[in-house]
Amino acid sequence: MVRAAVLPAVGSPLEITGIELPEPGPGQVRVRLAAAGVCHSDLSLSNGTMQVPVPAVLGHEGAGTVVSVGEGVTQVAPGDGVVLNWAPSCGSCHHCTIGEVWLCSSALKGAGRIHAVAEDGTELHPGLNVAAFAEETVVAANCVLPLPDGVPLTDAALLGCAVLTGYGAVHHSARVREGESVVVFGAGGVGLATLQSARIAGASTVVAVDVSPEKEELARRAGATEYVVASAITPKEIRKLTGGQGADVAVECVGRAETIRAAWESTRRGGRTTVVGIGGKDQQVTFNALELFHWGRTLSGCVYGNSDPARDLPVLAEHIRAGRLDLSALITGRIGLDGIPAAFEAMLAGKGGRALVVF
């Protein structure tokens, strides 16, 4: 038995309880978690914005050490440090064959399997494939990536979602060029990773926007050259900070209609807006036909940073080793499993960066 955070039903409080994991079968790996990040996507799963089979063990951003492997697993061995990959690509669907592995049609197939059994005999699913809110987990072999050299195992958990997403939003989706101006809406874990990535890309002006004045120091440490407290006039403020034109690139990390619209209005004519935040179906964003023509802006969605984890992790590791990317700067709280509900509340209140569950 291991302790885990279980979502019994959509809208229900998390339960910290014991679960029984099976031994890894063919093509599976058992991992002892070192840490797991508390991501807004976990909150979206708990409230039904994103739908997966329940009851489930939540948590999708994690890193740990391989305990044992099943038959046929050769890429990792017991004792290896690994980063969990919650969206493994199948390699054979249409999107995979054209190089868009982040859109793999089978990426979340594993969420429907039976992962573990609760103390009362209830069968549990693995949330977003990897069930990282637990002391140990059993995952498919393609859900683990070898930990790059020189990256601390605990902080490496953030590579599994926040950092890949933020880095990818800047480098793969928006394709920020040196000297461009960037505005980032939302200074949570993903937003802070996006700010660091904009700095790494050589952006000249980096503006952070958030509802909380208290996040300014966090944002500036991550690379923001300017900080704006969100309001109805945010796009006007962004234009003042970017020579009256608007930013070359806006990255929205919140997933709300008003911030998506504000991000769009904050970009210059011909600028690019990338939406990273996951919003609900009720969040309707409207544009009129004339403005679409006149402004010539590009609006694009961004899934998992449009990243290929196997390709991008070594690149991120090099930035970490060189001191350009600071994982610890994203973390504003180190907690235990019992602290996850409070971390959810902090996210709802717009407080802090990334909370990290440390085992």
pLDDT tens digits for range 113-163: 999 999 999 999 999 999 999 999 999 999 999 999 999 999 999 999 999
Structure tokens at 211: 């509802």
CB of 218 closer than 8 Å to CB of 195? no
List CB contacts of 287: < 8 A, sequence separation 6 or more. 264
Please name the residue ranges forming H helices in the chain: 40-47, 94-97, 162-168, 189-200, 216-222, 234-241, 257-266, 289-295, 309-321, 340-348
Q: How confident is the model at residue 52 (pLDDT cuts 50, 70, 90)?
A: confident
Is the pLDDT at 49 greater than 90? The verdict is no
What pLDDT, in 10s, does the model give residues 243-265?
Answer: 999 999 999 999 999 999 999 99
Q: What is the DSSP letter of 211?
A: S
What pLDDT, in 10s, does the model give residues 59-113?
Answer: 999 999 999 999 999 999 999 999 999 999 999 999 999 999 999 999 999 999 9
What is the share, in percent, of the chain residues with pLDDT greater than 90? 94
